[in-house]
């Protein structure tokens, strides 16, 4: 069915996605405090000193999901003997290299080590001072990416914000997001194992981050793209406040969490007759199978949302916006936003790709339920735009911006909520595309997957460094207090909380400003359409 539904999406080259690790060893010198070491209830850990910070890389938070544990929920890691030398920064969960959109830690073309459930910690010192904790969940279409990408280096966030920063790996693709309960009831719920990995990592943080100088009662989870889909799904689980006190969702919301029906359709595409058949495959064979299925049944942009958390009724109870509106996340502060030209990311192969994506949107993605108002909506979006630009603007609003405003509005009833839009454009042709905020949030200024990003940054380095400082101050202030205005070392406007009808939005750009209900007429065109969960087009 997926193959028939999305046949119109195929076009050449546009399927863009959104190792051995440290082992415990005994060493006489690793326990020295001067060498960045600490002791947890699981055992001693030794990291490295870098630029005045203590950095711990490749700490295992769950047992290797291999052998009998493949396709099973994560099993929390047990105690180790001796001192864990946490110096491995190369862990990448299984995937084929996506050099266009990911910033890998080495040059491998294929990553096949399933023993990848590791996390990294950057801290000013493991001194029990109870600093705010920021846990980052990477994006990459739940098929690509790793916590060890240089663009996600947490050093600047940790140093500038006096915070403890954690980045986590989780299982990807078929290995983490395939519902196999239809093949074997014992594997029911496996379609959310990637989400369970993340939850297990967050629980590890709660249990052990105090030993690294962090406050387990002051955890902010930050996710981008698929990471944001995942964290938004956690808002629809029972007691999300037990996982984090605050959450930042960058370019992703619960509208892209799968329905159960869609997840069943995805599972049905796997050409296997048993879980045993899958378990008997090598990692490479599973990746090859995964690529074949996506190429055949979800070509083009839909491949970027093929894997995601889903509403299973047990872990993810209902649609995110429904649960949030009812107060399920009333104990969680929310900061959420999108980039001005999200969907243009997929058109960076050139004008032909941009045109093709616009045509695909018109043919496949525009909601059938809005057919009666389609002509009026298209006319409104065409003001000052070409046909392709209008289609991509509608695609961005439908897929990212408007669902973000809906989630912000739902949560604003219960907790302080902040909305942003990132609008700096490295090129006029593509604008502020998906992932563009990341080099500024981390202060790494690595523009992987962003055409013209590095050149544009170098041409305006001083002002763009200021923009990054403003964003880091806002993110870390939010993590510390729930208010992004608590620490403004670089001048910028105050950021009001989001509430209708004002709908105050921080517009991040050179010269940041606050706008009330930006492009509100276009936002209002979607009124009445329920952005609940991602399913098959009706």
Q: At what angle do helices 226-234 and 193-208 cross, to 10 degrees?
A: 70
Peptide bond just before 501 cis, omega within 30 deg: yes
Among candidates 130, 158, 153, which has minimal Cα distance to 52? 158
* Active-site pick, 225, 232, 412, 468: 225
Tokens of 185: 């009831």
| Residues 471 and 182: beta-carbon distance below 8 Å | no
Active site annotation includes 23: no
* Active-site pick, 149, 434, 437, 477: 434
Among candidates 107, 197, 194, 104, which has minimal Cα distance to 145? 104
Length of the chain: 538
In whole angstroms, give the CA distance from residue 172 to residue 144: 7
CA angle 394, 398, 400 (to 5 degrees): 110
| Residues 142 and 111: beta-carbon distance below 8 Å | no
DSSP helix/strand/coil, 229: helix
Burial track 210-242 (b if 16+ CB lie within 10 A, e otherwise): bbbbbbeebbbbbbbbbbbbbbbbbbbbeebee
In whole angstroms, give the CA distance from residue 44 to residue 49: 16
Burial track 112-136 (b if 16+ CB lie within 10 A, e otherwise): bbbbbbbbbbbbbbbeeeebbbbbb
In whole angstroms, give the CA distance from residue 336 to residue 180: 32
515 alpha-carbon distance from chain centroid:
26
Tokens of 421: 């839009």
What kind and span of H or E run contains 439? Answer: helix 438-442
* Active-site pick, 250, 342, 421, 437: 342
E strand segments, 256-392 = 333-339
Burial track 169-184 (b if 16+ CB lie within 10 A, e otherwise): bbbbbbbbbbbbbebe
Place of tokens 């999901």: 65
Separation in Å, CA 488 to CA 198, 469, 515: 31, 9, 19
Active site annotation includes 434: yes
| Residues with catalytic roles | 225, 342, 434
């Amino acid at each position: 069915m997926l193959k028939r539904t999305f046949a119109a999406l195929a076009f050449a080259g546009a399927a863009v996605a959104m190792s051995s690790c440290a082992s415990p060893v005994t060493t006489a010198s690793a326990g020295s405090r001067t060498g960045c070491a600490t002791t947890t209830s699981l055992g001693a850990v030794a990291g490295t000193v870098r630029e005045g910070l203590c950095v711990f890389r490749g700490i295992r938070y769950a047992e290797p999901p291999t052998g009998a544990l493949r396709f099973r929920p994560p099993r929390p890691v047990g105690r180790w003997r001796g001192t864990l030398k946490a110096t491995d920064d190369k862990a990448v969960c299984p995937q084929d290299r996506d050099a266009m959109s990911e910033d890998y830690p080495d040059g491998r073309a294929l990553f096949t080590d399933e023993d990848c459930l590791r996390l990294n910690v950057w801290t000013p010192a493991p001194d029990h001072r109870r600093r705010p904790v920021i846990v980052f969940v990477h994006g990459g279409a739940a098929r690509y990416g790793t916590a060890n990408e240089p663009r996600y280096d947490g050093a600047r966030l940790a140093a500038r914000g006096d915070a403890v920063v954690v980045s986590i790996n989780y299982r990807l693709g078929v290995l983490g997001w395939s519902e196999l309960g239809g093949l074997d009831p014992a594997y029911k719920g496996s379609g959310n194992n990637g989400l369970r990995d993340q939850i297990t990592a967050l629980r590890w943080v709660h249990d052990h981050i105090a030993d690294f100088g962090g406050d387990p009662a002051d955890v902010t989870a930050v996710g981008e793209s698929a990471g944001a889909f995942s964290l938004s799904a956690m808002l629809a689980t029972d007691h999300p406040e037990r996982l984090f006190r605050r959450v930042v969702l960058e370019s992703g919301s619960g509208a892209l969490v799968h329905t159960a029906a869609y997840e069943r359709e995805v599972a049905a595409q796997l050409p296997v007759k048993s879980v045993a058949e899958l378990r008997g495959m090598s990692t490479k064979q599973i990746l090859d199978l995964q690529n074949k299925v996506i190429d055949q049944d979800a070509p083009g942009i839909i491949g970027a949302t093929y894997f995601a958390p889903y509403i299973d009724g047990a872990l993810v109870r209902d649609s995110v916006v429904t649960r949030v509106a009812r107060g399920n996340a009333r104990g969680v502060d929310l900061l959420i936003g999108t980039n001005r030209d999200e969907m243009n990311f997929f058109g960076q192969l050139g004008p032909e790709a941009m045109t093709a994506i616009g045509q695909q949107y018109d043919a496949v993605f525009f909601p059938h339920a809005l057919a009666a108002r389609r002509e009026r909506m298209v006319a409104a979006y065409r003001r000052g735009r070409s046909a392709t630009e209008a289609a991509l603007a509608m695609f961005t609003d439908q897929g990212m911006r408007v669902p973000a405003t809906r989630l912000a509005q739902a949560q604003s009833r219960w907790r302080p909520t902040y909305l942003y839009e990132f609008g700096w454009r490295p090129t006029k042709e593509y604008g502020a595309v998906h992932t563009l905020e990341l080099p500024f949030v981390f202060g790494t200024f690595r523009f992987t997957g962003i055409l013209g990003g590095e050149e544009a940054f170098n041409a305006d380095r001083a002002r763009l460094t200021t923009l990054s400082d403003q964003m880091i101050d806002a993110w870390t202030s939010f993590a510390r207090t729930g208010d992004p205005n608590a620490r403004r070392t670089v001048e910028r406007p105050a950021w009001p909380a989001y509430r209708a009808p004002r709908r105050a939005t921080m517009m991040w750009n050179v010269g940041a400003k606050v706008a009330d209900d930006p492009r509100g007429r276009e936002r209002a065109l979607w009124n009445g359409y329920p952005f609940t969960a991602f399913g098959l087009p009706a």
